[in-house]
């Protein structure tokens, strides 16, 4: 089967940086036509962000394959009118402005719905479209902090653990945007009308804490507030944690179930540690300290060999480029090379996790690369395009390689 599930779906992407572009990358990888609407002077901010290769942002490259680019000045009357005409031919719109920005431009949901009643309008913002902080600036770290996720990670009595990855942007923003968009598309099959999808990255980040926070609410007065580093899955159990090795590397020990922890203790010749492995007080701390001492006696390679074939939920913490060489990830096809004829070189792509057919690997667009084509599809004449002063870059032919 050579077709992709979202083939024929048209997405208009006004978002920038990470949350919206990753969501639309997933849609594009699944076959949707995704067209980025960018301002003429610079476009998506991430185009200028390092690291750069031959003057082009690697961050932009990794997030924007399989998309087209059209430039429009939405602050101009001509740009706004052209945008309204564009909207008529699309199924989904994604934007990531602060609440109210599109209304100030004269392009809010009500205006666009008048142009296209079937439009799914997805707005991704830090704190959502409602509430006292709806207009507040923020970044991923702020959303994780407000959601309680930061406070739940780290050593007991110590500082919160810096996450290192964008949980709010991807988990709270991109993925819930995708859920909302696909749910709204399913609803549209029944009602014939689109809907507004309000995605708060802070709300979405709370989802990472759902099991623990929901249990806390269920316990009511009989329960206790969540505590950093003292509970079963955040460092409280000796059988579930990170342990350093002699060579400065780390092991992720996830021997949570008794059968796994018993197997670990047996492999270490220390069955005496088993009884207190699930204690979160002093006895458990002693087991944790003893495990830390044992693992620190040998390098990572020793422990990998020692636990080879045991299936005890123990894995090395991969560092840097080791992830790209991991045989399981390679076997799953996450890393794929393709020729980029536009740039004259082969590039390695990191695919999105859900693959339901041959993933297209068209290179990301230069700014305004497809302006004429996209606007012509919307019915604008060459004369009308002249008034828009669109960017029409000179580029070589697109690569049509697929994995």
Q: How far apart are CA 167 and CA 145, in angstroms?
A: 11
* Dihedral class, residue 51 (left if φ above 0, else alpha if ψ from -120 to 50, else beta): beta
3-state helix, strand, coil in the chain (%, to 5): 40, 15, 45
Task: Please say whether the beta carbons of 360 and 304 come within 8 A.
Answer: no
**Candidates 35, 44, 140, 169; catalytic one:** 169
Question: Packing angle between helix 175-191 and helix 19-29, nearest 10 degrees?
Answer: 60
Task: Please say whether the beta carbons of 316 and 323 come within 8 A.
Answer: no
Residue 203 a catalytic site member: no
Residue 139 a catalytic site member: yes
SS3 65: coil
Between the CA of residue 293 and those of 110, 154, 264, 287, 289, what are the distances in Å?
63, 20, 15, 10, 6
Q: How far apart are CA 27 and CA 319, in angstroms?
A: 29
**Candidates 133, 139, 212, 298; catalytic one:** 139
DSSP tally for the chain: helices H, then strands E: 16, 13
Give the CA-trace dihedral at 121, 125, 130, 136, to 10 degrees. Answer: -150
By CB atoms closer than 10 A (0-12, 13-18, 19+), residue 286 is middle
Residue 172: CB partners within 8 Å, gap ≥ 6? 19, 143, 147, 200, 201, 202, 203, 204, 205, 206, 207, 208
> Active-site positions?
139, 169
């Amino acid at each position: 089967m050579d077709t992709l599930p979202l083939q024929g779906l048209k997405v208009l992407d006004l978002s920038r940086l990470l949350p919206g572009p990753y969501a639309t990358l997933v849609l594009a990888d699944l076959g949707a036509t995704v067209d980025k609407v960018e301002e003429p002077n610079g476009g998506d901010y991430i185009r200028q962000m390092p690291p750069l290769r031959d003057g082009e942002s690697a961050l932009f490259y990794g997030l924007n394959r399989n998309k087209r680019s059209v430039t429009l000045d939405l602050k101009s009357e001509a740009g706004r009118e052209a945008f309204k005409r564009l909207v008529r031919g699309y199924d989904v719109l994604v934007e990531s402005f602060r609440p109210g920005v599109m209304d100030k431009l004269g392009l809010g949901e009500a205006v666009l719905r008048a142009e296209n009643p079937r439009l799914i309008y997805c707005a991704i913002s830090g704190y959502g479209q409602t509430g006292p902080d709806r207009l507040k600036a923020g970044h991923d770290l702020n959303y994780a902090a407000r959601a309680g996720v930061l406070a739940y990670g780290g050593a007991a009595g110590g500082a919160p653990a810096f996450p290192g990855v964008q949980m709010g942007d991807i988990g709270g923003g991109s993925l819930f945007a995708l859920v909302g968009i696909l749910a709204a598309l399913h609803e549209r099959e029944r009602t014939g009308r689109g809907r507004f999808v309000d995605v708060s990255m802070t709300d979405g980040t709370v989802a990472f804490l759902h099991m623990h926070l929901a249990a806390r609410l269920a316990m009511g007065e009989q329960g206790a507030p969540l505590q950093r580093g003292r509970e079963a899955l955040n460092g409280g159990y000796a059988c579930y944690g990170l342990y350093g090795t002699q060579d400065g590397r780390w092991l992720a020990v996830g021997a949570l179930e008794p059968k796994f922890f018993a197997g670990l203790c047996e492999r270490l010749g220390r069955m005496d540690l088993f009884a207190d492995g699930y204690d979160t007080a002093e006895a458990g701390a002693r087991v944790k300290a003893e495990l830390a001492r044992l693992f620190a006696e040998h390098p990572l390679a020793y422990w990998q060999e020692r636990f080879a074939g045991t299936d005890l939920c123990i894995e090395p913490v991969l560092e840097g480029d080791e992830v790209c060489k991991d045989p399981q990830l390679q076997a799953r096809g996450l890393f794929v090379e393709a020729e980029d004829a536009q740039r004259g070189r082969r590039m390695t792509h990191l695919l999105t996790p859900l693959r339901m057919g041959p993933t297209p690997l068209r290179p990301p667009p230069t700014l305004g690369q497809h302006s004429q084509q996209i606007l012509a599809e919307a019915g604008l004449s060459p004369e009308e395009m002249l008034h828009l002063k669109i960017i029409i870059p000179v580029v070589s032919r697109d690569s049509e390689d697929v994995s």
